[in-house]
Amino acid sequence: MDIANLKIDGARLWQALMDLAQIGATEKGGVKRLALSDLDKQGRDLVLAWGRAEGLQISIDQIGNVFMRRPGRNPDLPPVVAGSHIDTQPTGGKFDGNYGVLAALEVVRTLNQHGIETEAPIEVAFWTNEEGSRFVPVMMGSGVFCGAFSLQHAYDAKDVAGLRVEDELRRIGYLGDEIPGQHPMRAYFEAHIEQGPVLEDADKVIGVVPAVMGLSWYDCVVQGMEAHAGPTPMHLRRDALQIATRIMQETVAIANRYPPYGRGTVGYVQVFPNSRNVIPGQVKFSIDLRNVNEELLDKMHQEITSFVAATAADSGLSISLERVSYYPPCPFHPECVDAVRQATAQLGYSTMDVVSGAGHDAIYAARVAPAGMIFVPCKDGISHNEIEDAQAAHLEAGANVLLHAMLRMAVS
């Protein structure tokens, strides 16, 4: 068969997604399948059963990352890998993560169906605890794999009930033997719903992802003085909330000064004492700054720190700003980005470049191998929500791009 015309089976892919979504299905049509839970075990078992039915060789590492290998003509070559994760948010959807794993499985099923042999092995991967909704840090499996943090650090992470990652891996039967990071990869691809509205708004089918935004997270605390709202004149108040809102507005202003990829968000606010007739004495809130350019992200960091210092001096209030997390921007490998771009052009799909604003396992995979991502639209840009939705035709298109991008790397 001429592999240039090869296509995946869209109906088969859709059915696999719907079957997996039954494990942890919620009343609103979403999925709750938290990492290392009994439902996660059931999901893992089902995907492994599908892999074994395709003759794939299974390996599991010590943090529970799973690799399912389709041999190539040359077993000495490192595999071309694709995947994502199957754990979900507490109010997750059917497609986030799951699509990347099952699109990769559909690539294997298509190659098997047509008897196509590749020079390098092909692998389907799914990583442990990408979401971070039960255990932190997020992207745990891929983070351990690339050495971002230690295996012991991950093992010692506990959920709200005090249960440890290592113990839960052992309990569900996914504490593997392979040392994380000692699994070679020629290249890594991840197909994913966009989790944002850009593709849908532009009416494009495929997003070529050149990079993932870096992020800088902060905890800010403004300390004022609570007092009675009636007797205290405006000019004598030490209102922590009014000063905090200046910083919140500046967070948005900073992002707007660095288009098109500047992002600034205050998503968490805690006001003390939070009473109707008391002037707020303390406000704690989060700041989330993002950009795809590391130099610009650093400028945004400098601007928010300078503004906080100036605001403290001007107001006379004590303001603390602590950076609690930092991920540099992640540019993907030109070879992988080009493979996605060429596959999209070959298949004739409408396309545009889309920088990812969300984190993915591909960020950590990119530290150890060439990596790239493929985005498809999701309805209204909504994700991490039970109403998350995507068109079957778009999912099929993304899997076709994945198929040909992987073939480009695995055949030659």
349-393 pLDDT per residue, tens: 999 999 999 889 999 999 999 999 999 999 999 999 999 999 999
Q: Looking at domain 214-327, does it have CATH number 3.40.1160.10?
A: no
pLDDT tens digits for range 136-187: 899 999 999 999 999 999 999 999 999 999 999 999 999 999 999 999 999 9
Show the 3-state SS of 296-337. Answer: HHHHHHHHHHHHHHHHHHHHCCEEEEEEEEEECCEECCHHHH
Using 50, 70 and 90 to split pLDDT, how confident is the model at 412? low
* pLDDT computed for residue 158 by the predictor: 97
Q: For residues 164 and 277, what is the distance between their CA atoms, to the nearest angstrom? A: 44
Q: How many CB atoms lie within 10 A of CB 345?
A: 13
Question: CATH 3.40.630.10: which residues of the chain?
Answer: 3-212+329-411
Q: Which of 232, 231, 220, 215 shows the shortest CA–CA distance to 293?
A: 215
Average pLDDT over residues 188-200: 97
- The predicted pLDDT at position 251 comes to 98
pLDDT number for residue 40: 98
Average pLDDT for 72-93: 97
Residue 236 has what DSSP assignment?
G
Q: Is the predicted pLDDT of residue 84 greater than 70, yes or no? A: yes
The CA-to-CA distance between both ends of the chain, in Å, stands at 17
Task: Give me the half-sphere count of Cα atoms (radius 13 Å) on the Cβ side of residue 265.
Answer: 11
CATH 3.30.70.360 domain residues, the chain: 214-327
At 325, the pLDDT band (50, 70, 90 cuts) reads confident
Question: Residue 1: pLDDT band by 50, 70, 90 thresholds?
Answer: low
Type of residue numbered 351: T
Q: What is the pLDDT of residue 143?
A: 96
Q: Does residue 323 have a pLDDT over 80?
A: yes
- Distances, alpha carbon 172 to alpha carbons 167, 185, 344, in Å: 9, 27, 39
- Residue 2 pLDDT exceeds 90: no
pTM, 2 dp: 0.91
Beta strands (DSSP E) in 65-145 are: 66-70, 80-84, 122-126
CATH of 3-212+329-411, one of 3.40.50.300, 3.40.50.970, 3.90.1200.10, 3.40.630.10: 3.40.630.10
Q: Which two tokens stand for residue 10?
A: 């869209």
What is the per-residue pLDDT across 87-108, written as a single tens digit (0 to 9) for each? Answer: 999 999 999 999 999 999 999 9
- pLDDT classification of 229: cutoffs 50, 70, 90: very high
Handedness of CA 290, 292, 295, 296 (dihedral sign): negative
Query: What would the pLDDT profile of 242-285 be if each residue is shown by its tens digit?
Result: 999 999 999 999 999 999 999 999 999 999 999 999 999 999 99
